């Protein structure tokens, strides 16, 4: 090899090893509705990789992990529980502690309220951690949405990606707040009763108001943007497809906005889709979900918040609008951005969002 060729070869190796160093090693603890989606979104990125996912016991979710090539670990460290995978035909690489030992960051996608026990293991292993919206802000210590507080989360030890409802509120309210400088909001969350794959929850033939008023959803926005003065009420209805928000925002005098300029503001922000219900015939959450399937989204997901153009009206200082939230997926790309924030690898939220979404679009084949 000529000395020029040798130098180029060594430079190539150096670049490769730099790339390896820069690849963030991500563990998923809890491979359910959210966990399996976060795993694929992470896997699609070129700056991070899935090094393992956990299951509590051998079940049909293990097949998916095996098909995707994600190493399977047991949620527990108990030798008997780990050994139970083998007879069911799955290779289990160890318990949670074995997985944490090789991870840079763990995305905890366990069912709500079990996070506190898991956090102990993460802290002990010295691994950064991301919880989901079923956990309390106080337990995680920080909360996150890409548009509200990416910078504040840079290099933090851990955070909580807020719930699907709070993420949805944050997407449309944060740009409004940033334009207006102050914002008061009242909203009603019309919530899906259960996820499509969930056979245990309800109601199936009733409307169930959340009798704790105000509900936690609106005030939870203040964990990522404390300046937004917001309250909410919530009601669960017998549907599995999406949540729908009915929002009234009180803008300060002199806001200088019109209905059209509010729509333009949202159009210029990422992860918001605006469509005219009358023109497109997408007038309910059923058609919104059909649209997501038509455009080839994996699992029929819609990471974006869907706003009906003809349901937006600014009347003086009062803004009225509806938005639909795909509960299983709007938080997915936010988890990817949160990983970059905690690892300190991308300080600009819009750059992270663009990178995340481009990689996800590619895996969706769009």
Annotated catalytic residues are 164
Measuring CA to CA, which residue among 364, 349, 271, 359 is closest to residue 49?
Answer: 359
Q: Is 242 in the site for ligand NAD (CB under 6 A)?
A: no
Give me the residues paired with residue 364 across strands: none
Task: Sketch the per residue contact string, 318 through 347, with ligand NAD: x for CB under 6 A, - otherwise.
Answer: ---------xx--x----------------
The SS3 assignment for 89 reads coil
Measuring CA to CA, which residue among 170, 319, 305 is closest to residue 256?
Answer: 319
Q: Shortest approach of ligand NAD to residue 299 CB, angstroms?
A: 12
Q: Is 189 in the site for ligand NAD (CB under 6 A)?
A: no
Contacts of 9 (CB under 8 A, 6+ apart): 1
User: Is 304 or 328 the residue whose CB approaches ligand NAD more closely?
Assistant: 328
What is the token pair recorded at 217? Answer: 């959803």
- Is the separation of the CB atoms in 120 and 41 below 8 Å? no
Radius of gyration of the chain (CA): 22
Q: Is 32 in the site for ligand NAD (CB under 6 A)?
A: yes
Q: Shortest approach of ligand NAD to residue 100 CB, angstroms?
A: 12
Q: Is 34 in the site for ligand NAD (CB under 6 A)?
A: yes
Q: What is the DSSP letter of 360?
A: H
Q: Which stretch binds ligand NAD (CB under 6 A): 107-115, 149-157, 231-239, 337-345?
A: 107-115
Q: How far is CA 63 from the centre of its chain?
A: 23
Q: Is 163 in the site for ligand NAD (CB under 6 A)?
A: yes
Q: Is 52 in the site for ligand NAD (CB under 6 A)?
A: no
Alpha helices by DSSP H, the chain:
3-22, 33-43, 60-68, 79-83, 96-100, 115-125, 137-140, 146-149, 164-180, 217-220, 259-267, 277-280, 285-294, 332-343, 349-363
Q: Is 352 in the site for ligand NAD (CB under 6 A)?
A: no
Among residues 26, 28, 30, 137, which is the contact residue for ligand NAD, using CB under 6 A? 30
Q: Is 210 in the site for ligand NAD (CB under 6 A)?
A: no
Q: Is 56 in the site for ligand NAD (CB under 6 A)?
A: yes
**Chain residues 251-310 in contact with ligand NAD, contact rule CB under 6 A:** none
Q: Is 111 in the site for ligand NAD (CB under 6 A)?
A: yes
Q: Which stretch binds ligand NAD (CB under 6 A): 128-136, 290-298, 314-322, 333-341?
A: 128-136
Contacts of 360 (CB under 8 A, 6+ apart): 41, 44, 303, 332, 333, 336
Binding residues for ligand NAD (CB under 6 A):
29-35, 54, 56, 61, 75, 109-112, 114, 118, 132-135, 163-164, 195, 327-328, 331
């Amino acid at each position: 090899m000529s000395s020029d060729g040798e130098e180029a070869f060594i430079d190539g190796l150096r670049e490769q090893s730099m790339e390896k160093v820069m690849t963030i090693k991500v563990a998923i603890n809890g491979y359910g509705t959210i966990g399996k989606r976060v795993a694929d979104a992470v896997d699609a990125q070129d700056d991070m990789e899935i090094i393992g996912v956990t299951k509590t016991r051998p079940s049909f979710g293990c097949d998916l992990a095996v098909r995707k090539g994600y190493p399977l670990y047991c949620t527990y460290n108990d030798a008997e529980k780990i050994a139970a995978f083998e007879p069911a035909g799955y290779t289990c690489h160890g318990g949670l502690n074995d997985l944490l030992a090789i991870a840079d960051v763990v995305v905890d996608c366990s069912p709500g309220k079990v996070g506190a026990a898991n956090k102990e293991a993460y802290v002990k292993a010295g691994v950064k951690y991301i919880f989901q919206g079923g956990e309390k802000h106080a337990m995680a210590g920080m909360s996150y949405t890409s548009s509200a507080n990416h910078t504040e989360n840079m290099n933090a030890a851990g955070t909580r990606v807020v719930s699907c409802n709070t993420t949805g509120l944050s997407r449309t309210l944060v740009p409004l707040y940033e334009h207006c400088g102050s914002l008061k909001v009242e909203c009603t969350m019309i919530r899906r009763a259960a996820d499509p794959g969930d056979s245990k929850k309800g109601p199936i033939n009733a409307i169930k108001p959340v009798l704790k008023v105000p509900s936690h959803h609106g005030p939870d926005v203040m964990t990522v943007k404390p300046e937004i003065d917001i309250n909410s009420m919530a009601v669960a209805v017998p549907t599995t497809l999406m949540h729908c928000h009915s929002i009234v925002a009180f803008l300060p005098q002199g806001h200088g906005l019109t209905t059209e300029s509010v729509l333009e503001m949202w159009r210029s922000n990422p992860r918001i889709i605006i469509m005219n219900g009358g023109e497109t015939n997408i007038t309910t959450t059923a058609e919104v979900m059909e649209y997501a399937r038509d455009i080839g989204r994996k699992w029929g997901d819609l990471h974006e918040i869907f706003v009906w153009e003809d349901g937006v009206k600014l009347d003086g200082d009062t803004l009225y609008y509806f938005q639909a939230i795909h509960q299983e997926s709007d938080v997915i790309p936010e988890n990817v951005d949160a990983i970059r924030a905690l690892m300190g690898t991308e300080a600009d939220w819009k750059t992270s969002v663009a990178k995340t979404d481009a990689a996800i679009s590619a895996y969706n084949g769009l």
